[in-house]
Amino acid sequence: MPKSKRAKVVHLTKVDKKGKELTLKLFANVRECLDQYQYCFVFSVENMRNTYLKDVRTEILFFGKTKVMAKALGLTPEEAYQDNTHLLSKYLAGNVGLLFTNREPSSITEYFANFSKTDFARAGTEATREFEVPAGIVYSMGGEMATEDDVPMAHSLEPELRKLGMTTSLTKGKITLDNPYTISMTSQFPDNNIPGPSFEDTADFADADHGFIASLNPCIIKDAQGNTVWNNDEFNFVNQQPCPATVNPKLWRQGQLLSKQGLYRISSSIYQVRGFDISHITFVEGQTGVIVIDPLISCECAAAAIELYHKHRGAHPVKAVIYTHSHVDHFGGAAGILPLATKDYEAAPVPIIAPEYFMEEATSENIFAGPIMRQRAIHMYGSQLPRSSIGQIGVGLGMGTSSGTTSLVPPTINITHTGQTLTIDDVRMVFQMVPNTEAPAELNIYFPEERALLVAECATHALHNIATLRGALVRDAKAWSRYLDETLMLYCEDAGSDVQFGSHGWPTWGKDNIRKFLGEQRDLYAYIHDQTVRQMNQGWNGTEIAERMVLPLGLRRVWHTQGFYGSLSHNIKAIYQRYMTWFDGSAENLWKWPPKEEGARYVTCMGGAKEVLRKAQVFMDEGDLRFAATLLGHIVAAADDSENNSASALIQGKKMLALVFEHLGYGAENATWRNYYLSQSLELKRETDLGIGKRTPGVVAAFAPNLSVEQWLGALSITIDGQEAGKEETPFCIGIHVKDIGEDWRLILSNGALSYRRQQPAEERSSVRTLLNGNDSSRSEITAVKGDIQALSRLLSFASIGDAVKEQLESHL
């Protein structure tokens, strides 16, 4: 053989000490065989257990890290250890190995062509013949061998068997099958073991790169004070290293796609800037200027996006702004792209177009539950996590949310019905109303001259949320599906659309591809809704349905239906909640103890905290992290139960629960689940709450001027401490006159509840609103007070709006 390159130093990726030793050993063994043997083959195995590899004559076989073996062979002609060994490297991917031999190639190929063994299939593969699992205790070989020679199947697999439709239960720690179950090539659930989408499918990467013009380098956006409000470069690591064990490979792929940033051309006059926020901003060029669609969350990010657009397309003036729907990532940055000399909530100098009821929905979603929604959003979006393979790698719909200045410029034109047409700067647009789908007020836009269809957020490259983890009203999955079907009918039949794009993800090109994509998205939400309701009517509750349901083959094998943002599990539970409320129909759940009291009782029943910790460790060792989390959750919840929960046990419980959450997060396909698990793991390690008590006054201030008086008083009413206010023996009233709109309101505090109705005069609008929002800058703006001055102070004493504000208001009065 040619001269060896054994002396050449090859650098391998850094790994831990033990791992490095094994890596170096594999590397050295492969090269040693290259010196000793004349031939080297790459072989693959399918649905085969390692036992039978021992029967493969006396040749040398290697299974191990394919990248290490490829490095040993050499990746390029220059790196090749022996002549042409680099040509084998490209085949080292997947479940493959190396075979070294001195036998002639023809004898090797003949041997393997005749090599066949009968064995029990590996998990996750299709049955090749029909057989029946008998009733009774379920054994690992499914009744195919004598029970005295077999062992019972691990109890932790019982939920998986139920998902396959087997009527199982646990009896004395053993899985028991109520009725015989037939396994066949055409079983009741033929698709359950069929793998999901293929990693060999790279069409999404081609579409995501299509039309690329330029990126922003570095992609770091700052506010006027120099604070970073967006840093997309933090996510560069997903494209610089292979997927680690701490990330679900499917989610890693999604991060690679969503982390792409820059200016892209969609059609001859439509451009889009991606990767500057969780959403995208779109620019539609007209005769003399540009129409801007969905100007991101933050003004700073929107300004940076239009600057990049201007740099490569010219300084086209903004002729109109369109908000596709009522979520802040589609309108918050408007003031950053408009030449406003006035406050952001005053009239814009160009048309602002939005769906009907946009203002009501945009300002109302966070009024009542805003504080807890913001706290949950910290967990859902992983804003306190490091951007790394052990932290946040995106949110499934984008890489994260910016933290700059938000604004709300009110619409001047409302879109009220499907088919409504507007022409602005020679750009003709046809609108489709899709209310109560992904947002209460939402629209799609068709551009006839470009044959381009904008589907804002009803169809994305991930399963969306029917209910979001941060909190919101449950969405109507049935209406969602019906509107997608209407989209297909209106804009994808006959001539159809040449390109479909949205405010998240990447476009789809080609009529057939668009029909397929939108059709599968339609079917996705219809299937989840209809099958949840069907099983609900059969008597299953939401949790049970979530464990049982699987998507059909056609939906499981495509990437855009995967649960990266919404999950099949929590969407099913949301649909159940929409129809059946929180109650699951089991009477024992009508009057449950709160977590702390329930936890203390569980700890007592199980023999104390140490015994709970021991049992939790057993479940952790068996891989049942879900139940380990349940047990450890009782320990943490019962923190103050000193009788059964020592300080050391609590500390150990928190450490173990943090570890369980960490591993659940690492395995999660869903980005928001990952972020939630890892955020709460971080809280347990730090013993701090990442969200409680943290407000975002900048966001509130941007919304404040646009709320109606009724909305503001509604917001005030939920800050009242009812227990304290209920001690007032006599109800009292306060009259307010809203001077700038001429409205009179009366506030009535009675039995601990604040009611309000339009009626009598008092203070000026913006002053009262700003004070209730926690801002003292307008104390000098209160123009008149009549009657009992102390009434307002007394009312505010029951409101959770900050002591400093109360003191300033009282001293001024």
HSE of 674 in the Cβ direction (CA atoms, 13 Å)?
A: 29
pLDDT in tens, 653-692: 999 999 999 999 999 999 999 999 999 999 999 876 665 4
Single-letter amino acid, residue 70: A
| Contact present, 596 and 640 (Cβ < 8 Å) | yes
What burial class does residue 703 get, using C-beta atoms within 10 Å of its C-beta: 0-12 exposed, 13-18 middle, 19+ buried? buried
Give 664's DSSP letter: H
The CA-atom distances, in angstroms, between 439 and each of 187, 331, 472, 704 are: 39, 13, 10, 21
Looking up tokens 């989209």 gives: 487
The CA-atom distances, in angstroms, between 597 and each of 125, 633, 635 are: 45, 12, 11
From the list 440, 428, 438, 446, the residue with the least C-alpha distance to 490 is: 446
Query: What top-level class would CATH report for the domain 131-183?
Result: alpha beta
| Contact present, 528 and 506 (Cβ < 8 Å) | no
Q: Enter the tokens of residue 440.
A: 């209460």
HSE of 346 in the Cβ direction (CA atoms, 13 Å)?
A: 6
Q: What is the pLDDT of residue 84?
A: 87
The Cβ of residue 512 has, within 10 Å, a number of other Cβ atoms equal to 9
Q: Enter the tokens of residue 230.
A: 């967006």
Delimiting residues of CATH 3.30.1050.10 domain(s) in the chain: 708-812
| Cα gap 256→283, rounded to integer Å | 24
The length of the chain, given as a count of residues: 813
Q: Enter the tokens of residue 627.
A: 């139940």
Q: For helices 568-580 and 511-537, what crossing angle results, to 10°?
A: 50
Q: What is the pLDDT of residue 62?
A: 67
| Cα gap 679→726, rounded to integer Å | 38
Query: What top-level class would CATH report for the domain 708-812?
Result: alpha beta
From the list 180, 152, 264, the residue with the least C-alpha distance to 215 is: 264
CATH number of 589-686: 1.25.40.880
Positions in the chain short of pLDDT 50: 1, 14-16, 124, 185-193, 341-345, 692-703, 760-782, 804-806, 808-813
DSSP string, 297-344: S-HHHHHHHHHHHHHHH--PPEEEEE--BSSGGGTTTGGGTS--SS-T
| Cα gap 29→22, rounded to integer Å | 10
Delimiting residues of CATH 3.60.15.30 domain(s) in the chain: 203-515
3-state SS, residue 154: coil
| Contact present, 76 and 85 (Cβ < 8 Å) | no
Q: What is the pLDDT of residue 174?
A: 85
Q: What is the pLDDT of residue 15?
A: 45
What burial class does residue 603 get, using C-beta atoms within 10 Å of its C-beta: 0-12 exposed, 13-18 middle, 19+ buried? buried
| Cα gap 720→549, rounded to integer Å | 43
3-state SS, residue 577: helix
3-state SS, residue 50: helix
Q: Enter the tokens of residue 90.
A: 């490209």
0.85 cut: is pTM over it?
Answer: no
User: Which residues, at least 6 apart from 176, have a Cβ–Cβ distance to it below 8 Å?
Assistant: 136, 137, 138, 168, 169, 170
DSSP string, 516-537: HHHHHHHHHHHHHHHHHHHHHH
The Cβ of residue 487 has, within 10 Å, a number of other Cβ atoms equal to 25
Q: What is the pLDDT of residue 739?
A: 76
Q: Enter the tokens of residue 397.
A: 């719909």
User: Which residues, at least 6 apart from 315, have a Cβ–Cβ distance to it below 8 Å?
Assistant: none
Q: For helices 249-258 and 671-686, what crossing angle results, to 10°?
A: 100
Q: What is the pLDDT of residue 322?
A: 98
Q: For helices 789-797 and 803-812, what crossing angle results, to 10°?
A: 180
Delimiting residues of CATH 3.90.105.20 domain(s) in the chain: 131-183
Query: How would you classify the pairing of strands 318-322 and 352-355?
Result: parallel
CATH topology of domain 203-515: Metallo-beta-lactamase; Chain A (3.60.15)
pLDDT in tens, 22-48: 778 888 889 999 988 888 888 877 666
Q: What is the pLDDT of residue 603?
A: 93
| Contact present, 329 and 296 (Cβ < 8 Å) | yes
| Cα gap 289→425, rounded to integer Å | 7
Q: What is the pLDDT of residue 370?
A: 76
Chosen CATH of 17-113 out of 3.30.70.1730, 1.10.10.10, 1.10.3720.10, 3.30.420.40: 3.30.70.1730
Looking up tokens 């205790």 gives: 137
Q: For helices 625-637 and 609-621, what crossing angle results, to 10°?
A: 160
Delimiting residues of CATH 1.25.40.880 domain(s) in the chain: 589-686
| Cα gap 74→40, rounded to integer Å | 13
